[in-house]
Every structure is written in C-alpha cells, then in structure tokens.
Amino acid sequence: MNADKAKASRSAIRSLMRCAGHCLVLTLALNSLLFAPPYAFAANFSAVRPNQALVFPRDHGAHGGFRTEWWYVTGWLQAPDGQPLGFQVTFFRSATGHDPRNQSRFAPTQLIVAHAALSDPSFGRLRHDQKIARAGFGLAGASEADTDLKLGRWTMRRTASGDYAIDLPARDFVLTLSLSPTQPLMLQGETGYSRKGPRPEQASYYYSQPQLRVSGSVTRGGKPVAVSGTAWLDHEWSSTVLDPAAVGWDWAGINLDDGGALMAFRIRDAKGATLWAHAMLRDKDGRQHSAGNGALSFTPLRQWRSPRTAATYPVAMSIDIGGARWQLEPLQDDQELDSRQSTGAVYWEGAVRALRNGQPIGRGYLELTGYLKALKL
C-alpha cells in the first residue's frame, strides 16, 4: 500500500511539473506577443501578396508561416419555441516567432486560441467562453491540409462532404452543429487578396462562406434543444494587417433573405476616422459587386455603454454603399465579449438584423473592436 501511495505521489508531482512548465512557457509566449512593438516579427513571417491564387481544399487549412490566422463562424439559430439565438465560434492560430533552432516539443511555436459565444435574449447578455493552449501533444492544433481545429474538447473540422462539424462544450452551453455550404466560396478583395490599409503589405488572404445551412443542437442548463438556421464563415490569414495608426475595426457579414450576401468593414484611427474600408455584395444571382476605400461609410445610429468595462459601442449602425443604405439593429444590446484571458481584447460581437427602408432584408453579425483600447494583433 505504501509503495502504491509513493508511486501515486510521484505521478502527481510529475503532472504538476508538466502543468507548471506548460503554463510558464505559455505565459512567456503571450507576453512576447502582446507587448511586442508593431512589425517586430514581420521579417520572420510569410507576406501577403497580390495575384496569389487560393487553392482548395489546401487553403481551408492552416498557414503556419503567417503570423495570425482565424476561422470565424457566426449565425442565427431558431429553436422550436421560436426564440432566436445568435452564436459565434472563432479559432485563432498565432505563430509566436519562437527561435526555430529550438526543436523542443515544449517550444511554444504556435498558439491556438478559441472563443465561443451565445446571444440569448432570454438571458439578457452574452454567454461566452474562451480557451488558449500551445499547439501539440494531441491537445491543440490546426491541420494544414484542411480545416481541422482542436483545442481540448473544442473541435471544428471540415468533413469529406464539405460540411463543417462543430462540437464545443463551453462553460455555460454546448454547441453541436453541422454547417452545410449552399453557395460557392466568396473571395474577398481581389480574388482573396484583401487590403486593410494604404500600404500593400497591410492585407490578408480572406474568403467567406455565406449562407451556410445549420442544423444541430444547443444545450443550456443541461437540456439540449434542436436548432436550425443560417451561418457565415470567414477564414483570414496574414502577418501585417493593421496600419500603426489603426485602433480597431467595424465589420459586418450579413446573409440576405433573398440568398445574397454582404460583407463590409472599415479600419478606424484613434479619432474614429476611417483609414480604410471595403465592401463586397453578392446578389441573389451570384454576381459580385465591390466598393473600395472611400466608396462606403459607417454611421453610428445608437450607442450602448457596457456596465462591466465602461466601453461605449455603436451597436446600431448604418452602412452606406453606392447610394444604398443598410441599417443594422442588434438582437440585444449587451453582446460584449471580454477575452483578456486569451487574446487580450475586449470587443462587441453581436447578432444583428439588417433593414432597407425600414424593412427586414437579412440577418448576420456586427463586430466592433478597439472601443475600450487599441486592438493589438
């Protein structure tokens, strides 16, 4: 019995040491990312360049040579009781710039971060959760062959049929969803090369999958409920996205009721002025129309102040593109996500309804970053 106890004690001590080492390395890696000056690692990472054709299914997977990458899914769900729900799932991959000569399995070369959120009007504010770990050991990672993301028990993968399977047991809810494409990919910018600023290197590779058909279940309070709905997926990767003068962005992705899709964003400076903006509209017949920098504007219609962080967000917004005005109204005002335990950012990520001339025309998501402090990628 004493020998068994001693063996168990040694095993527990080894486990604690592994955990301590993991936490220390992860903390050091995060500090190097969060407090590094702009462009400090630019020379170590791959660059985004125009006229580079995206190749699928390879480009559904990870691009480890680039500094930052994310797979971002948002959508509206309908439960049998008719109550609408919004959901967000985002997986981030971040290359740390760690010395490549260090071949240790414990070297924090890549970090995997994930956010999950549920907009539930019956709850009154955003339910959300977050995780972070270094890639490796079968616990966290992002495949380079296709979308196959793992962070503990949180997973998102693209199946052989082209559907996406999300299995995500968060702290206060569980998402078990299948997302089926109904339309071709929507390449943003110039066939996937998406400018984010005045300098050509301030860009990302960027494509979307709008009008995804969703089925599955949402579990709250231990009770699963069948849901269906529509979602939007974004996949972006880059090494230098924001101009040094940028503090954040406003972004919208809207699935239109007639089958069309609208993506629009602007990059803001500290005074709220637009540094760069772009929009892409795909109409119901599949024709794409873009609006470049200077051809669109974002106008706040109503603001909401967070009782937790005191940040003020323009939660109702109009977007003017080529003489057309799109009005966005939130499903609920309180959709703030505090991710200071993972990415360090606090932002508003909300389900919104889109209207034209006061009439509903679609549903999607509005993302507002840099309203508490400047966003650092």
Asked if residue 262 has pLDDT above 90, the reply is yes
**CA–CA dist 239, 298 (Å, integer):** 26
Instruction: Please give the pLDDT value at position 38.
Output: 39
Phi, psi of 297 (to 5 degrees): -145, 150
Mean pLDDT check: name the lowest of 140-149, 165-174, 240-249, 276-285: 240-249
**CA–CA dist 255, 363 (Å, integer):** 6
H or E element, residue 349 = strand 345-356
Asked if residue 243 has pLDDT above 70, the reply is yes
Asked if residue 326 belongs to a domain, the reply is yes
**CA–CA dist 46, 97 (Å, integer):** 11
Mean local confidence (pLDDT), 244-272: 95
> Looking at the 3D structure of the chain, how many domains does it have?
1
The model's confidence at residue 242, banded by pLDDT at 50, 70 and 90, is: confident
Asked if residue 1 has pLDDT above 80, the reply is no
Asked if residue 14 belongs to a domain, the reply is no
The model's confidence at residue 370, banded by pLDDT at 50, 70 and 90, is: very high
Instruction: Please give the pLDDT value at position 40.
Output: 39
Instruction: Please give the pLDDT value at position 100.
Output: 66
Query: 89: exposed, middle or buried (C-beta count within 10 Å: 0-12, 13-18, 19+)?
Result: buried
**CA–CA dist 264, 206 (Å, integer):** 13
Instruction: Please give the pLDDT value at position 343.
Output: 73
Asked if residue 116 belongs to a domain, the reply is yes
| Domain, as residue range, for 230 | 36-368
The model's confidence at residue 377, banded by pLDDT at 50, 70 and 90, is: low
Asked if residue 281 belongs to a domain, the reply is yes
Instruction: Please give the pLDDT value at position 107.
Output: 72
Instruction: Please give the pLDDT value at position 280.
Output: 97
The model's confidence at residue 2, banded by pLDDT at 50, 70 and 90, is: very low
**Predicted structure pTM score:** 0.86
More reliable by pLDDT, 128 or 357 = 128
Asked if residue 79 belongs to a domain, the reply is yes
Mean pLDDT check: name the lowest of 107-111, 189-193, 252-256, 259-263: 107-111
More reliable by pLDDT, 98 or 201 = 201
Asked if residue 285 belongs to a domain, the reply is yes
**List of residues 6+ apart from 264 with CB closer than 8 A:** 251, 252, 277, 278, 279, 280, 291, 296, 298, 319, 321, 326
Asked if residue 2 belongs to a domain, the reply is no
Condensed to tens digits (0 to 9), the pLDDT of residues 14-47 reads 443 344 333 333 433 343 343 333 333 344 899 9
Condensed to tens digits (0 to 9), the pLDDT of residues 188-236 reads 999 999 999 989 999 999 999 999 999 999 999 999 999 999 999 999 9
Mean local confidence (pLDDT), 95-122: 84
Which pair of structure tokens corresponds to residue 170?
């968060």
> What CATH code is carried by the domain that includes residue 134?
2.40.370.10
Name the percent of the chain lying above pLDDT 90: 72
Asked if residue 362 belongs to a domain, the reply is yes
**CA–CA dist 174, 118 (Å, integer):** 10
